[in-house]
Amino acid sequence: MNHIRITGTGSALPVRCVTNLELSKTVDTSDEWIRERTGIRQRYLASEGETTSVLATRAARIALEAAGIEAKDLDLIIVATTTPDMVFPSTACLVQAALGVSGSIAFDIQAVCTGFLYGLATAERFMRAGGIRHALVIGADTLSNLLDWNDRTTCVLFGDGAGAVVLSRSDHPGILSSHLHADGSHAGMLCVPGNVSKGAMSTASPFIHMDGQSVFKFAVKVLDEVCREALTANHFSIDEIDWLIPHQANIRILLSTARKLGLPENKVIITVGEHGNTSAASVPLALDVAVRNGSVQAGQRLLLTAVGGGFTWGSALVIF
Ligand code: UT7
């Protein structure tokens, strides 16, 4: 039982689906612009009561069922999120309680869109240190709460959702390696400057601010680098990868990354059209969609990668 495998996946979306056309009735934009520049056709937006922990718990239940274990079997729960229900306690503690269990380790990770990969890598390292049989790693965000709906340069890009995986100890290889990076000197390129302080929001903005073009260039560069790092660490060539599952930010970023790596388009899992950018949820959500539609099969080699605010970026090479 020296290996750590993904034994179940799950995901959850809010009920309300908003198309580009619907958005263009209230925002100065068009379906054509959004589709051409981003590949996004629609996104799901959380309604009252559909908090990050609610979506995370729904995704978790599905992942547990797929793994064939119960919540009481979990030794570790990690939720990657930038949009917790509360300042504290952590969303992971809320999910644990909603699952009706107690006693396991539970904490949140904040690495924005790279959060799921940070969570996966952290769980993997915890498990390798011993004492943990099953871990739940969730990426969940309701970024719609941080959007200025008058700012067309950001509000059309994001959606809400959650994705979850169960990790279990196994005799068969699963996560081969994971690679994480950050560079805080780019903090201002993509951020929500505001915070809660002295009983009110601070005077800094509570909305997402983004230098879109700089983010685009940075993303294409580091995604290529960190994917190559994973390939090199495992002595794999790109031809040995069955699927690239990248953070679903913008179809042009996904396809540029694949092109730079020399991977054909038909080996890239693409869900950005249906979900928009769901931040920490995007990679596990795309993985779950691909598992359930039969694209991703047992034994295949997956290259997961993401980049996000911080700046943070990472990759993981996984045998599914
Ligand atoms: O997890 C990471 C999150 N962030 C990202 O992934 C963002 C990465 N960046 C991008 O995806 C792209 O830079 C954007 C999609 C944000 C923007 O695409 P772009 O091709 O870089 O467009 P641009 O910023 O150069 O803007 C082109 C034009 C501008 O008008 P002018 O100055 O040429 O007249 C914008 O004002 O498009 C205008 N524009 C829009 N028009 C209609 C910007 N947003 C919109 C919009 N609808 N929603």
Q: Structural domain boundaries of the chain?
A: 3-171, 176-319
Ligand 1 in reach of 212 Cβ (< 6 A): yes
CA of 246 to the centre of ligand 1 (A): 20
3-171 and 176-319 have identical folds: yes
CATH number 3.30.43.10 is the correct assignment for the domain at 176-319? no
Best mutation site among 20, 117, 216 for ligand 1 pocket (most ligand atoms within 8 Å of CB):
216
**Residue 61's CB: how many other CB atoms inside 10 A?**
17
Number of Cβ within a 10 Å radius of residue 285: 30
Please give the Cα distance from 194 to 84 (Å, whole number): 15
Alpha-carbon dihedral angle through residues 44, 213, 224, 147, given to the nearest 10 degrees: -30
For residue 57, give Cα distances in angstroms to 72, 78, 116, 166, 218. Answer: 14, 12, 15, 13, 33
- The verdict on whether 93 is a catalytic residue reads no
Lowest mean pLDDT among 109-113, 198-202, 276-280: 198-202
Q: Is 31 exposed, middle or buried, given 0-12, 13-18 or 19+ CB atoms closer than 10 A?
A: middle
Q: Is 17 a catalytic residue?
A: no
- pLDDT (0 to 100) of residue 180: 98
Q: What is the per-residue pLDDT for 237?
A: 97
- Six token digits for residue 166: 């169960």
In this predicted structure, the answer to whether residue 67 has a pLDDT above a threshold of 90 is yes
Say which residue, 1 or 288, is predicted with more confidence: 288
- pLDDT above 90 (res 127): yes
Q: Which of 20, 134, 250, 277 is catalytic?
A: 277
Question: Cα 67 vs. chain centroid, distance in angstroms?
Answer: 20
Cα-based torsion angle of the residue sequence 288, 291, 296, 302 in order, rounded to the nearest 10 degrees:
30
Distance, in Å, from the CA atom of 257 to the CA atom of 270, rounded to the nearest integer, reads 12
pLDDT at 202: 87
Name the active-site residue from 227, 247, 250, 275. 247
The 10 Å Cβ neighbour count of residue 180 is 17
State the average pLDDT over residues 59-76.
98
Q: Is the CB of 80 under 6 A from ligand 1?
A: no
| Tokens of residue 138, six digits | 């969730």
Decide: 134 and 70 in contact? Cβ < 8 Å.
no
CB burial class (10 A; 0-12, 13-18, 19+) of residue 309? buried
> Which pair of structure tokens corresponds to residue 178?
């994971």
Pocket flag, ligand 1, residue 156 (CB < 6 Å): yes
Distance between Cα 116 and ligand 1 center (Å): 25
153 C-beta closer than 6 A to ligand 1:
yes
As a whole number of angstroms, the distance between CA 313 and CA 85 comes to: 24
> What percent of the chain has a predicted confidence (pLDDT) above 90?
96
Joined together, the tokens standing for residue 316 give 């993981």
CA 306 to ligand 1: nearest atom: 1
Name the active-site residue from 113, 155, 191, 227. 113
Nearest to 41 by CA among 52, 30, 49: 30
pLDDT of residue 317: 98
CATH of 3-171, one of 3.30.230.10, 1.10.1040.10, 3.40.47.10, 3.90.79.10: 3.40.47.10
Please write the tens of the pLDDT for every residue from 145-189: 999 999 999 999 999 999 999 999 999 999 999 999 999 999 999
Percent of the chain with pLDDT strictly greater than 70: 100
